[in-house]
Amino acid sequence: MTETELREKVAGYTRFPPRGKLNIYSDTTEFMSIQSGDILELGGVYYLVRGEEVEGRFGLDGEPKYWVKRVIDLEDGCSKIIKLVFHEKFLMQLGSLQIECFRSPVKEARILDKVRGDLRFMQGINILDSSGNQVRIIDRIQGDRYYDQIHNLQMDHETYFHERFPAIFDNVVGCIAAINRLHEMGELHGDIRNDHILIERESGKYRWIDFDYTYDWAENPYGVDLYGLGNILLFTTGKGFHNLPDLTACGPEGMKMRSCLEPADMSLFFKYRIANLRKLFPYIPDSLNYVLLHFSQGARVFYEHTDELLQDLRACRPDITSD
């Protein structure tokens, strides 16, 4: 594509025609230098950069992710997300254990290939840029974060649990089945969170995003993923997380509930997060609470494989009914 053709294409997607020299990058190593209005040339296709994605957690938008670009494919006008190579490491605290986690663009690229056509996962392709960087070009999912969907429900917990929870539970079990398939392929998600499930607006499908984290834990290779799924189950069952300080803020009734709680009732992941939700909401079935307690400080037995968790969730489904 000539520069004149590129300018014409870009002009069709911007309010103001580009002036001066177009910045075209085929080497994405210095991703901080790539700005809105620049062009990425990858695999013979040109993409107009429109900005960066932001890290969204707990219902808020945070810092820009400068290695994740929002782009327009100048061939067909489709919106895409382009993830450039960025390496980082950190230690995750899980009970008394510290587990090293790190980003792996190659691992995410491999998973994209393996889940192609499975719409329970984000979809995309992998391209090596001119310097051999593993670039992932992701189809944008139009929808809302699961975290926001739950928090935006305007109803008390009991109404939620009897009227909305059964259908939501079924969708979440479908998400866990998708992770089980990933594990059966010998892969990890690596960063399972409530905001890494998007609910596609048009179809209502629940879809996993962001597979670039991984971790080293030889004793329990799927453990971090499983504890991430446990957090999603706590969040889903509780219509949000419930922490000890929240009960204190609820006055005498909250203090009465707090007095019934023991250290064994707390989450193994977060020591102030309540895992024994039946003590707060006695209408939660024992069979479901039994699953939640596998992720508590009082647990004697832990899930080692996702299919074990799935079996218990499917077994408790008859106890979860919609009025």
164 DSSP assignment: I
| Domains defined for the chain, CATH in brackets | 3-84 (2.30.30), 143-319 (1.10.510.10)
Looking up tokens 């969730």, which residue turns up? 313
- Pick from 149, 150, 152: nearest CA to 161: 150
- pLDDT tens-digit profile of 265-284? 999 888 899 999 999 999 99
- Pick from 53, 189, 68: nearest CA to 135: 68
Local confidence band at 323 (pLDDT 50, 70, 90 cut-offs): very low
Q: Is the pLDDT of residue 315 over 80?
A: yes
- pLDDT tens-digit profile of 212-222? 999 988 788 89
Q: In the structure encoding, which two tokens stand for residue 280, read together?
A: 């707060």
3-state secondary structure of 62: strand
Torsion angle of the four alpha carbons 13, 16, 22, 26, in this order, in degrees rounded to the nearest 10: -30
Pick the range with the lowest mean pLDDT from 83-87, 200-204, 244-248, 302-306: 244-248
The residue-averaged pLDDT of 239-254 equals 80
- Pick from 213, 195, 191: nearest CA to 86: 213
Q: Could you tell me the pTM of the whole model?
A: 0.92
Angle between the N-to-C axes of helices 165-184 and 223-238, in degrees from 0 to 180, rounded to the nearest 10 = 170
Rg, C-alpha atoms of the chain: 22
Q: Is the pLDDT of residue 60 over 80?
A: no
- CA angle at residue 185 from 181 to 189, to 5 degrees? 70
Provide the pLDDT for residue 39.
95
E-strand stretches of the chain: 24-25, 39-42, 45-57, 60-73, 79-83, 89-94, 97-103, 124-128, 134-139, 143-145, 197-200, 206-208, 213-216
Local confidence band at 61 (pLDDT 50, 70, 90 cut-offs): low
Local confidence band at 230 (pLDDT 50, 70, 90 cut-offs): very high
How confident is the prediction for the chain on average, in pLDDT?
91
Q: Is the pLDDT of residue 94 over 80?
A: no
